[in-house]
């Protein structure tokens, strides 16, 4: 849950002139991989369908629950920041071989996450990544001009706030713990 995301941005939801639409080959590659896994006896068609259905059912509600717990339970927040993978396991969430690193936004530090190689994203926690997250424009511009990108999403940070860009990869996913909104101190986790 990154607090700077306020909805899709046209600049990122429309392919740029530099983006190459490679999505046409993905169904062919997926089907070839499925057939190979089934042929080799590594997975059954049923197991593949169940996993796809599970991943498609994920949404940001799991991430919201984690953030709400961190805002209301200081011991959980400490565990989440120290070892995100172990902390989310308390919710029955397995990171499936990837490490979850949780970074905290503060009054002086704002974190932004990108995957410069593809679109590594904590899907088990936040569901499918938004289209803009996968765009080449977002991936390259966030590294080179993170303040400008954040501004386009509606987050204009003062110059004295440090912006940290975190690059997800095949082995590591990031989750941003936003600053708790003012006026919510009396609210509970649920």
- Exposure letters 92-104 (e unless 16+ CB within 10 A, then b): ebebeebebbbbe
Residue 92 to residues 29, 85, 100, Cα–Cα distance (Å): 31, 11, 14
Q: Are 111 and 105 in contact (CB under 8 A)?
A: yes
CA distance 3 to 182: 14
Strands 99-104 and 172-177: parallel
Instruction: Establish whether 118 is a catalytic residue.
Output: yes
Instruction: Please tell me which residue in 120, 135, 140, 168 is annotated as part of the active site.
Output: 120
Judged by DSSP in three states, 123 sits in: helix
Instruction: Please tell me which residue in 16, 44, 61, 118 is annotated as part of the active site.
Output: 118
Judged by DSSP in three states, 37 sits in: helix
Q: Are 131 and 11 in contact (CB under 8 A)?
A: no
Instruction: Please tell me which residue in 16, 96, 119, 140 is annotated as part of the active site.
Output: 119
Instruction: Establish whether 120 is a catalytic residue.
Output: yes
Instruction: Please tell me which residue in 16, 60, 115, 168 is annotated as part of the active site.
Output: 115
Residues 6+ positions from 128 with CB-CB distance below 8 Å: 55, 56, 58, 121
Which positions are annotated as active-site residues?
Answer: 115, 118-120
């Amino acid at each position: 849950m990154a607090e700077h995301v306020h909805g899709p941005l046209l600049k990122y939801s429309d392919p740029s002139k530099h983006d190459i639409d490679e999505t046409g080959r993905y169904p062919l590659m997926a089907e070839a991989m499925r057939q190979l896994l089934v042929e080799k006896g590594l997975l059954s068609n049923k197991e593949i369908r169940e996993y796809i259905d599970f991943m498609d059912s994920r949404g940001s509600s799991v991430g919201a629950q984690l953030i709400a717990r961190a805002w209301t339970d200081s011991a959980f927040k400490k565990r989440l920041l120290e070892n995100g993978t172990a902390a989310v396991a308390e919710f029955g969430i397995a990171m499936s071989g990837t490490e979850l690193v949780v970074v905290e936004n503060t009054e002086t530090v704002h974190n932004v996450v990108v995957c410069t190689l593809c679109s590594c994203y904590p899907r088990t926690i936040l569901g499918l990544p938004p289209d803009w997250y996968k765009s080449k424009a977002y991936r390259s511009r966030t590294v080179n001009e993170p303040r400008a990108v954040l501004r386009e999403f509606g987050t204009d940070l003062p110059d004295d706030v440090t912006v940290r860009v975190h690059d997800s990869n095949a082995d590591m996913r990031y989750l941003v713990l936003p600053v708790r909104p003012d006026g919510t101190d009396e609210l509970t986790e649920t």
